[in-house]
Amino acid sequence: MPLFLLMVPIGVLLLSGCSDRSPPAALTSPFDTQQLVVATRNGPTTRYVGRDQLPTGPEHDLVTAFAESRGWSVDWRVFESTAEVIEALATGRAHLAAAGLTHLPERSERFEPGLVHGEVVQQVVCHRDDRPLPDTIKDLAGVDLQVTGDSSYVARLEELARTVPDLAFVADPSRSSEVLLTQVATREVGCTVADSSIVRMVQRYWPHLEVAMNLDQTESVGWYAAASRPDLAEATRDWRGSDPGEVAVAAMRERYYAHIGEFDFVDLRALNRRLDERLPRYLDEFRQAAEETGLSVDLLAAMAYQESHWDPQATSPTGVRGIMMLTRPTAESLGVKDRLDPREAILGGARYLADRRARLPEDIPEPDRTYLALASYNLGRAHVLDARRLARELGRDPDSWAEMREVLPLKADKRYYPQTKYGYARGYESVRYVRRIRNYRDVIDQALPD
């Protein structure tokens, strides 16, 4: 059945699709079955299938950790929109909704609020070339504004429309925030509203997206249990307040958000352009190097982009050269005869990174081991060993990148580096180096052919 338009009194256009609303059989409590049925949404801030064909994502990791803490399995019900997730919870097809849902008073009247794992701000996002962008609520009148249906954005815009009569928008439950942001970037939609966490993720792929204004103050994001499951909601809140819950939330934030940093339009626009112009020329070399070293193609490509922007003729004032920016001694030790030959340089750089990684203790978990290897590639193994020793002296975990990224800058602090074996080093640059590679890697991974 085709989508249809329905006009409602305050100027909202609601797009609605047909769906099977027949009530399913009631779910048995997870406390009895040891199986948790979870409704989530397919997206980078919720749950998705990665290039390795394994499920991943912030909500996936947290739900998995919570379920494992109770000895439960998880039955995932994955939908494409917030509206579908809400409907699944309301109609009894899920015990729990974990889909980046904002905790709203009207939702908390229908469902049982579970744990909170973050905060977001609703942001109006437009194409940066459509200046002047709206920067007040009144400026939104007359704007082609479209949002995902049954969302916190609809509730906020309905509230604003009561004071700005000309404010109108389309609420479409069939399109997610990620889809709408993509349509803004491709000029199919004027503007949309999305949570700041989603905007941060998507902007890296579509750098022409620009935040025009914030709609509201920060709001809590977390889980909801079905109205009949207050015991489940309480269990999630109790787990969130426990040490394992704190660790799981911190790990989730470190894995998915810590490396994104401030949006850099010029840098990300250049990256996205070079994905088409330069990367295809060297993709076979990255694949060969990945096959030989066991490192991933996206990691090697991201490191090479950070080093040279995929320019095989790159040269720095300090004498490092080529697509992997190798020093002459390093190149010679790796058997690289011509640093400006991209095939030789990529394979040499991959071997060098693999060696940095192999020299680290095997019990360091991934991805921390790879991040420490990248820091060693950039700063030198000796200085990273110094920083690891310093971490132990300070009572920090030398195997955790989240902790080492705070310790490495101390190699440039005169209160600390005189005590280290190898002295001063710009450890803060290595932290930035790793962060940028992680950010580039996310974008590159999505661009690689299957």
What is the set of active-site residues? 307
Measure the CA–CA gap between 169 and 155, rounded to whole angstroms: 12
| Token reading at 313 | 């003729």
Burial class (CB in 10 A: 0-12, 13-18, 19+), 229: buried
Measure the CA–CA gap between 140 and 130, rounded to whole angstroms: 13
Enter the DSSP assignment of 134.
P
Question: What are the backbone angles phi and psi of residue 213, rounded to the nearest 5°?
Answer: -170, 160
Measure the CA–CA gap between 268 and 305, rounded to whole angstroms: 12
Q: Is-contact 103 116, C-beta < 8 A?
A: yes
| Token reading at 304 | 């090479």
Measure the CA–CA gap between 123 and 193, rounded to whole angstroms: 5
Measure the CA–CA gap between 42 and 81, rounded to whole angstroms: 8
Q: Is-contact 43 198, C-beta < 8 A?
A: yes
